[in-house]
A and B are shown apart, each in its own frame.
Chain A
């Protein structure tokens, strides 16, 4: 439909104080007759959701390749979205292997995951390389408010020995801005909220307290500009705006609940203010904000460390008091393997909730998920054996009408993971012939 007024793509609802809410794409932003088409095509978004300690691979890989039939146990919760995911098997990170550096597979596999290099085994001389998400962010990040967002759910400490002489900087970060400059993940949903809907920086303690006293929503601060905008929108855009602001309000309410909750979190720690005690609530809050950030084109690049590599978090919510990492050294004992399977399933279930949200969010003629490539994966396959080949990898979304989803593709053994990254860089508009130990682009993933 044609609206009376054309909105710039980068429109904010601004209010008193530091409130600033970026808007999602609306018909009013399209000056052309075919308003449902995004000018220049929808931007492609890219995210990495990393899970630690490998998988029980017999429950991750189906027994077939090609079009999805019945999904394997660990992927079951993705069943409603199986036409939207692409599973890739046999990708390898050689740089995660010991090579000549001895023990420390957890430190290496996470450090090399997006950097594609063998990281330096050290507690003090941190050395990796610029991760490929940051190479992309350097090229396209200027088109969005935030070049990238680095998020996580567990430990963000940057010093200490996290694995056999490897600094925690390797196990606790995915994104690297420079070879010795990791980008620590943001764990606190409130801080993320304020980053997205404020000045871009977390509020001061005083500002936060003032807002809390009055129990005011961020939406209250932009009421006037919201009403003004609504009056100029057509009915489709008004509905879209309403849905979008409701989603933000839902996040706010979740945050408030989390802030009132003072239960301790595992492992035996006081719960940091604002961080939900419940893992799934925490994930939902963080991932809902990823959806909103993508929807409003606040960023196109997200890295998300679900828990840090080598995590020993217990999963009492699944009646699993044992630490995740020790469990993965199951020595093929069935009861221990079963617990790991349950953790694998649990993680995927959280991810499926995020995918559901992305798929439910309309954008142009399709969905936000269609215009995204959301990688869910791990830096180890068999966590018991510490194997760095056949890394668990799925891509949700078509990456802007590119990936042929709904199937499992098995590439040749030992194919570098960095080959996939080269292909993804192409989709993000960044073209290079080499990244990490790549040997070429990954072929056969596209619709053609």
Chain B
């Protein structure tokens, strides 16, 4: 049911196993785009039961969203409770050791037990119900486990078809192999278009690590993203950016950062190998790296990921069009059909 003529910016949903710093940066970029009114970050869900990482993701979410305020809320991190917790990078724990001048922790971990997290399916359903039709996108930066489960959850497939314009998958062999059955299911049953950001995209667009001590530090003194980046690996380093690229494309498909392949259908074999069958009616496409856009993309990465937290613009149905902060440049790449 829709009551208004206009729509707010697109609702963003992000799911990951948070096994790389790339996923963390992707969250920062999504929130950076929220500050530019390109999207509204709804929920973060994770596909492995790791409370330490859930605690960090929750701290990041609160960093950007602030405490629950009037008529607003900070949703819990959706966390799968089955499966293995897996490895926990220092990126997710070291930031909590940081103290301010008074000796108090800069970031607080509010996720001590599974109670402080939410069931991913329930969260996905609840937050999809709050989206306008075809005005949300999903970014997958990990194994497809949660998304496959969501496709089996009563009501969610219909909501996806109704609300989600497209799913952008930051894919790699490792992620597909981590849950082949889930990947097969998602490619076979996801009701709306899927755009795949292959591993080579992220490899071609290494995130400029030098920005952590420059742009990030200039924007906000204590930023959990920057602190996680420093703890993830010995500095300086430039991190591959597949999840970043997927998120950037999802939030700004019109910007022409990437080219798109023709339409077709991607299938996943029992051994995890993918095959693409071209067809005009196919709902799947690949992102294609455009070397001419590299500098622009890297600059945008830094600008968005280091941006100060900014709440989503308050949406007034009749004034939604006027709320866009700036005119968009001419469309160079069409969004997926």
Give chain B's interface secondary structure class.
loop
Residues of A82-107 whose CB lies within 8 A of B: 90, 92, 94, 97-102, 105
- A413 lies within 8 A of B118 (CB): yes
- B119 lies within 8 A of A412 (CB): yes
Question: Quick check: is B257 within 8 A (CB to CB) of the other chain?
Answer: no
Q: What's the minimum C-beta distance from B73 to chain A, rounded to whole angstroms?
A: 6
A434 neighbours in B (Cβ, 8 Å): 154
Which of the candidate stretches A14-22, A308-316, A383-391 sits at the interface with the other chain? Answer: A383-391
Smallest Cβ-Cβ distance to A439: which chain B residue: B122
Knowing A98-B130, A99-B130, say if A90 contacts B70 (CB, 8 Å): no
The count of chain A contact residues (Cβ–Cβ below 8 Å) is 28
Knowing A102-B3, A105-B71, say if A413 contacts B130 (CB, 8 Å): no
A98 neighbours in B (Cβ, 8 Å): 71, 130
**A385 CA to B69 CA, complexed, in Å:** 6
The count of chain B contact residues (Cβ–Cβ below 8 Å) is 28
Knowing A100-B2, A100-B3, A100-B132, say if A414 contacts B70 (CB, 8 Å): no
B76 CB contact (under 8 Å) in A121, A385, A414, A439 = A414
A→B interface (CB under 8 Å):
90, 92, 94, 97-102, 105, 118, 121, 382, 384-387, 389, 410-416, 434, 437, 439
- A384 lies within 8 A of B122 (CB): no
A90 neighbours in B (Cβ, 8 Å): 115
The listed residue with most A CB atoms (<10 A of its CB), out of B2, B71, B117, B317, is B71
**A70 CA to B102 CA, complexed, in Å:** 33
Interface string of B122-155 (1 = CB under 8 A from A): 1101100111100000000000000000000010
8 A–B contacts from the bound complex (CB under 8 Å): A94-B126, A94-B129, A97-B130, A382-B68, A385-B69, A412-B118, A413-B117, A414-B75
**A416 CA to B1 CA, complexed, in Å:** 22
Smallest Cβ-Cβ distance to A94: which chain B residue: B126
A416 neighbours in B (Cβ, 8 Å): 122
**A385 CA to B73 CA, complexed, in Å:** 8
B154 neighbours in A (Cβ, 8 Å): 434
Smallest CB-CB A-B distances: 8 pairs = A414-B118, A413-B76, A94-B126, A99-B130, A413-B118, A385-B70, A386-B71, A410-B115
Question: Quick check: is B320 within 8 A (CB to CB) of the other chain?
Answer: no
B71 neighbours in A (Cβ, 8 Å): 98, 105, 385-386
- B68 lies within 8 A of A99 (CB): no
Question: Quick check: is B116 within 8 A (CB to CB) of the other chain?
Answer: yes
- B115 lies within 8 A of A413 (CB): yes
Q: What's the minimum C-beta distance from B62 to chain A, rounded to whole angstroms?
A: 14
